[in-house]
Structure 1
Amino acid sequence: MTARTNGSPSRAELIADAALALLAERGMRGLTHRAVDERAGLPQGSTSNHARTRQALLEAAVRRLAEREAQVLAPGEMPVPDGGTDQLLDALSLALHRYLTDHPALLVCRYELALEATRRPALRTFFDRTGALFREPLIALMAGAGSAEPERHALSLVAWCEGLMFSCAAGSYHASVPTREELRKGFGELLHGMLGR
């Protein structure tokens, strides 16, 4: 990866961000090495030098998507509940609301790449590996909250979030994103049901 200078994005980040922008705007068919060069404002052939194959370009997009999602969702900063879930509910609802309202294009990219991964076993492996960066902290959070089955409860929480994100990004709720308070209430109902409180 090219080193950053003065906080500016590296060439690798420019390429990956351009790839994500193209995925959000044009879908998988619009993602080509040449289109990435044009979108990033780089000389022709720059993307090919960085990611020679389509697989390499898709992996770069998945890697960058995970980095940007980590900035939005901040899984490592979620508070471990200490006798209650109020702080956790606040953090979960804030992170999901921020994603839904401020970064809808990232969600479109996520679904484009997830669907492509169903057709490319090598990308599936790579996609799943990056997904573990979010799954494992959530399992730890559920264990810290007192879950008797943290892996199963983490899956239920992820499935609920994924359903909301898809509905708000590409489904029938795209024009009516829930408020932060509505999300907090939903998370509360889930967690209280799981934890028996």
Structure 2
Amino acid sequence: MPTRTAPSRAELIADTALALLREHGMRGLTHRAVDERAGLPQGSTSNHARTRQALLEAAVRRLAELEARVLAPGELLTAGDPAGAAGAAWPTGAAEAAAGLARALHRYLTGSTDLLVCRYELALEATRRPALRAHYDEAGRRFREPLVALMTAAGSAEPERHALSVVAWAEGMMFACAVGSYHRAIPTEEELRRGCGELLRGMLGGDQSHGAVDHL
């Protein structure tokens, strides 16, 4: 088995910051609290991230890294579902897009909703801190750009706008499952695939009489 390396001090500080955000919200995140929770000498977090802004930026970077491991945005363009596309009157790649997005979303919802709570905390704080907003938006590029490419591959004539619609659908689904705004039951991967397929059908078009809905 491969040897698991210990996290660096920077990773430990960022991971601890995320844990505090998840458990206590923004008020619970202080330099002192990170030191105490991580078992570090007092002042260690301040030496790494001198200001609160720097500490929040470290949390945003780490969150993006952890979410990318789960969502694997770079795999979306290669996550095919040939059986789902067979015979459907859809632009090439639409069924594959629905399958790949559902797979990533289901993986997140069944194992990483703690990260989602952290993201909500940081996103709300970013609405009050323009510098953090810029940093938060930049960190999100690793997710937005593959999604825009996926929409292009699926045949979208307006991939930026359609990517935003997909993000809005996925965010709504994640919020409902994380906080129970509808209920906290997590949809199956198949249910997510069908839901995403219905969204893509509406955006990208396709002859319903050819059974595209059934395939997606």
How far is 1:194 from its partner? 1.4
CA distance in 2, matches of 1:172, 1:151: 28
- Residue 150 of structure 1: CA displacement? 0.4
- The answer to which structure, 1 or 2, has the higher relative contact order (CA under 8 A, 6+ apart) is 2
Alpha-carbon distance in structure 1 between the residues aligned to 2:55 and 2:116: 18
Give, as a single letter, the amino acid of the residue that structure 2 aligns with 1:50: H
> d(CA) in 2 for partners of 1:43 and 1:173?
44
Residues of 1 paired with 2:140 and 2:93: CA distance? 27
2:132 to 116, 123, 128: 123
**What TM-score results when the alignment is normalised by the length of structure 2?**
0.84
Give the aligned partner of residue 74 of structure 1: 72
CA contact (8 A) 2:77 2:97 kept: yes
2:148 corresponds to: 139
Question: 1:160 Cα shift?
Answer: 0.6
Q: Of residues 5, 9, 12 in structure 1, which corresponds to 2:10?
A: 12
Number of the residue aligned with 2:190: 181
Counterpart secondary structure, 2:132: helix
Write the deviation string for residues 83-126 of structure 1: whole angstroms up to 9, x where unpaired: 24333322211111111121111000000000000000110111
- Mapping of residues 145-160 of structure 1, within 5 Å: 145-160=154-169
Match for 2:205: what amino acid? G
RMSD over equivalenced CA pairs, Å: 1.7
When normalised by structure 1's length, the TM-score is: 0.92
- Secondary structure of the residue aligned to 1:16 is helix
Measured in 1, the distance between the counterparts of 2:39 and 2:107 equals 29
Per-residue CA deviations over 1:111-155 (Å, capped at 9, x if unaligned) read 000000000011011111111221111101100111011011000
Letter in 2 for 1:45: G
Please tell me whether the aligned partners of residues 175 and 181 of structure 2 are also in contact (alpha carbons under 8 angstroms): no
Q: Does the alignment pair 1:85 with 2:94?
A: yes
User: 1:41 corresponds to which letter in structure 2?
Assistant: G
For 1:157 and 1:44, how far apart are their aligned partners in 2?
Answer: 44
Number of residue-to-residue matches in the alignment: 193
Which whole-Å CA distance do the structure 2 matches of 1:164 and 1:151 have between them?
20
Residue 63 of structure 1: aligned partner: 61
Determine the C-alpha separation between the residues in 1 that align with 2:37 and 2:110: 24
Partners of 2:26 and 2:186 in 1: how far apart? 25
Select the residue among 19, 22, 25 that pairs with 1:21: 19
Q: Distance in 2 between matches of 1:174 and 1:24?
A: 20
The AA in structure 2 aligned to 1:7 is T
Q: Answer with 1 or 2: which has the greater Rg.
A: 2
**What is the identity percentage for the equivalent residue pairs of Structure 1 and Structure 2?**
74
Choose the corresponding residue for 2:172, options 151, 163, 175. Answer: 163
1:98 aligns with 2:96: no
Give the gaps of 5 or more residues in structure 2.
81-90, 207-216
Question: Structure 1: which amino acid aligns with 2:54?
Answer: A
- Which whole-Å deviations, capped at 9, do the CAs of 1:16-66 have from their partners, x for residues lacking one? 000001101000000011111122222221111100100000000000000
Where does structure 1 lack aligned partners over 5 or more consecutive residues? none
